[in-house]
Chains A and B, each alone.
Chain A
């Protein structure tokens, strides 16, 4: 085997080197495919992350929705009674209200107001993000906010700054001035930068219809649940569904899948990535098939002078692998260089695992695409290739 591999490597590398212009062109095509696949994967990751970031970083296991809300946070309405009922379910360590709404941050100068996700959370409970800078929210009624790093990046707001939020209540625009007390890591929600407000303050400043303006009983969208033992998520989920009226509980994974447009967006991008890989297989397969057809006589000579089929096959495999590795390396490097030029507001995230999976898939497309040509090379008969057959 060592001998076969040694001769095959020698032949493969010599051919690639002596025809480096031609092989480099194929490597560049693979590089472009790599660039495209990596960007599609990064876009999928960026968009997905923008949608699910807050939910996926929650220090909890379950989200409780109003029954028949199809796990849509915006469609769910839960009052304080439900929260108390959830808290009483065995296995629940902590539960807290979460209210979601949209608002506009009024920025100084001529800057356009920034649309943000206005999230009402209970200070000191699940749902309130940990701050990287500043302090946590103090009370449920405090005129304070925690902004996530995306909001901070886009607004230049710092801990201690006052921030004005504009919302529509009834038919009027209302302006509320709150103080930034902390900045958390990235916590985007529904592709928007996030601003966290104490729950009762949130209920006071959130956009309301005319009918809601004078309601005194605060209504949240969902209840976030932290369990005593995360391993019991399925059992507690069942218990909540059966013991609390008019609610349905979901795991974080189910909740993420149910985010509006999330699954459709991810499957679209995954399909695009898959098709790009498929095109890659066809391109590489086509190139190597044409190349094998052009060197039938040459392979015939090799076989006639005693090169075995494994030598011929391994030479093709090594050649295809070398060309693919060079292409993927160039494409990966280009993707890295391009990614450095994008501002953080562009939803492109090069996640290590996703990129590694994409790179492995790209490294496999070469040998996969070349399978037909390798089979063809092995089946070349020296007699026919050399014109010696009768």
Chain B
């Protein structure tokens, strides 16, 4: 199945990932082709073992596909060496994880600034932007708090700020609401979606909590490593969201 949109920031072509095990070959992702435009927020859903985490890892340049192409801003991640992939992760990709998102010995603002430091772009304007972004996320009073002094929701919002501060082309979120209560989870995803739309990034969120797809533009459903269904109208998406968890 192939989804095409104009001005795609991210495009995959028949991406496949196979693993050799003692019991034979396992196809974790099977010829998945998709594209995400700048300013579009997409949810990747599916039951456990459907291949969505493997897909996300390949999109994040953390794992190389066995076959196919992953084009980010027209550059193929699949053929890159480790050094180039590290540079891509640093410059072009923003990432939030399920847990252990933040560097525990850096304050909220230092965690956000870290992305600018890694890219050698930490100047006065960058510092100001980091503070403004955190303030927008409701963390203006928590700039100098360490992760251990913040709630799970606050930590996730710091991670969102860190994922966006360096103006990446692609923002990935792996189960960003897994450790949050429902109210916080909605707040986090809504904020995330708002920023992705506003800053014109391509955003992909992996979740198994279908209630969270309410804020996305499209939902891609995976099963057994394949992309099996796409929900792109508001009605379809809201219907799926009302259905709840997988």
**A298-B100, A390-B54 known; A305 and B118 CB under 8 Å?**
yes
Number of B positions contacting A (CB below 8 A):
38
- Contact mask for chain A residues 300-321; partner B; CB cutoff 8 A; 1 contact, 0 none: 1111111110010000000000
Taking the nearest CB of chain B, how far is it from the CB of A388, in angstroms?
A: 5
Q: How far apart are the CA atoms of A358 and B202 in the complex, in Å?
A: 58
Partner of A388, one of B62, B106, B117: B62
Contact B83 A382 (CB under 8 A): no
Partner of B53, one of A303, A306, A308, A388: A388
Q: How far apart are the CA atoms of A349 and B117 in the complex, in Å?
A: 49
Contact A304 B56 (CB under 8 A): no
Contact B100 A305 (CB under 8 A): no
**A18-B105, A388-B56 known; A304 and B28 CB under 8 Å?**
no
Q: How far apart are the CA atoms of A204 and B26 in the complex, in Å?
A: 101
With CB as the reference atom, state the residue of chain B lying closest to A299: B103
> Given the complex, which residues of B lie within 8 Å of A376, measured CB to CB?
none
- Contact mask for chain B residues 1-32; partner A; CB cutoff 8 A; 1 contact, 0 none: 00000000000000000010000001010000
Question: Could you tell me the dominant secondary structure of chain B's interface residues?
Answer: mixed
With CB as the reference atom, state the residue of chain B lying closest to A311: B118
Partner of B103, one of A302, A383, A388, A390: A302
Q: How far apart are the CA atoms of A19 and B106 in the complex, in Å?
A: 11
Taking the nearest CB of chain B, how far is it from the CB of A9, in angstroms?
A: 11
Question: Could you tell me the dominant secondary structure of chain A's interface residues?
Answer: helix
**A14-B105, A306-B87 known; A383 and B57 CB under 8 Å?**
yes
B120 on the A face (CB < 8 A): yes
With CB as the reference atom, state the residue of chain B lying closest to A16: B105
**A298-B103, A298-B104 known; A305 and B57 CB under 8 Å?**
no
> Given the complex, which residues of B lie within 8 Å of A10, measured CB to CB?
117
With CB as the reference atom, state the residue of chain B lying closest to A308: B86
With CB as the reference atom, state the residue of chain A lying closest to B105: A18
**A306-B118, A390-B19 known; A18 and B162 CB under 8 Å?**
no
Partner of B89, one of A14, A304, A389, A390: A304
Contact B103 A301 (CB under 8 A): yes
With CB as the reference atom, state the residue of chain B lying closest to A381: B62
- Contact mask for chain A residues 280-304; partner B; CB cutoff 8 A; 1 contact, 0 none: 0000000000000000011011111
A7 on the B face (CB < 8 A): yes
Among all A-B residue pairs, the 4 with the closest Cβ atoms: A306-B90, A18-B105, A297-B100, A306-B89
Which A residues form the contact surface with B (CB < 8 A)? 3, 7, 10-11, 14-15, 17-19, 297-298, 300-308, 311, 382-383, 386-390
